[in-house]
């Protein structure tokens, strides 16, 4: 399995790891490490990779968009380095094929879980920095992530909660309440059901794998209802 991963990294990104154990650590989930009595999993590298991504992306958009104020830069960064975005980058790199999972995690669909894939992508970044330095990480990000930033892909990304708030505020001061109506599923694979109430009336429902995702979906539905696109 790792032979195929090494070749993909070399051919697609020009990356050849010097310390193979770092790459193995990045692709070892805690569930696999526990089952196979391995001393290390990818959580420490994930911690490092998260900080590196925050810094490099912050620096890039700071230079790229001199006209955007601090608040909107923070919002843009959060769209780029959020769970769903990093999970998608992991899929595009085919990292999901190579993560080592415990049997229970594999059976429960961990290989497709956004939170797990986000952590994996961050762990890879951490491993790459430790193996080859920050400049190599920057080269990888330039190839993998920057084209989407330059295409304004993330600027088009909808923050439905903010859009709903702004739309309703045109009527004056508003009070929007998000209520968690139900949650179900296993502890590591929960599904959340959220409803939005405006002036005591329910205006939208949403479902998601996190509370934030369910809130965004409910806000999207509420906006579509206002436009008459859904009943």
Among 46, 50, 83, 129, which one carries the catalytic annotation? 50
Q: Which of 85, 71, 58 is nearest to 157 (CA)?
A: 85
Q: Are 191 and 208 in contact (CB under 8 A)?
A: yes
Exposure b/e, 166-194, CB count within 10 A at least 16 = b: eebeeeeeeebebeeeeeeeeeeeeebbb
Q: Cβ distance 42 to 28 under 8 Å? A: yes
Place of tokens 């696999």: 32
Cβ count near 51 (within 10 Å): 13
- DSSP symbols for 66-100: TTS-HHHHHHHHHHHSSHHHHHHHHHHTTGGGT-B
The distance of Cα 53 from the centroid of its chain, to the nearest Å, equals 12
Whether 131 is catalytic = no
50 noted as active-site residue? yes
Report d(CA 98, CA 4) in Å as an integer.
Answer: 9
Candidate list 25, 119, 122, 215, residue with the active-site label: 122
Active site residues: 50, 122
């Amino acid at each position: 399995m790792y032979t195929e991963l090494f070749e993909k990294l070399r051919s697609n990104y020009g990356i050849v790891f010097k310390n193979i154990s770092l790459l193995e650590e990045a692709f070892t989930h805690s569930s696999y490490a526990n089952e196979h009595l391995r001393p290390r999993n990818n959580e420490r590298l994930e911690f490092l990779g998260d900080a590196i991504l925050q810094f490099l992306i912050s620096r890039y958009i700071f230079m790229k968009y001199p006209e955007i104020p601090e608040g909107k830069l923070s919002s843009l960064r959060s769209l780029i380095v959020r769970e769903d975005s990093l999970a998608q980058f992991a899929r595009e790199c085919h990292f999901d094929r190579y993560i080592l999972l415990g049997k229970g995690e594999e059976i429960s669909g961990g290989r497709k879980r956004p939170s797990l894939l986000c952590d994996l992508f961050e762990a890879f970044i951490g491993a790459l920095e430790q193996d080859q330095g920050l400049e190599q990480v920057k080269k990888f990000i330039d190839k993998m992530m920057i084209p989407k930033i330059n295409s304004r892909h993330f600027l088009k990304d909808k923050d439905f909660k903010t859009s709903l708030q702004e739309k309703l505020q045109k009527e004056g001061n508003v009070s929007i309440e998000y209520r968690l109506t139900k949650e179900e599923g296993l502890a590591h694979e929960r599904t959340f059901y959220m409803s939005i109430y405006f002036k005591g009336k329910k205006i939208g429902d949403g479902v998601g794998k996190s509370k934030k995702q369910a809130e965004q979906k409910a806000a999207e539905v509420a906006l579509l209802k206002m436009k008459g696109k859904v009943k």
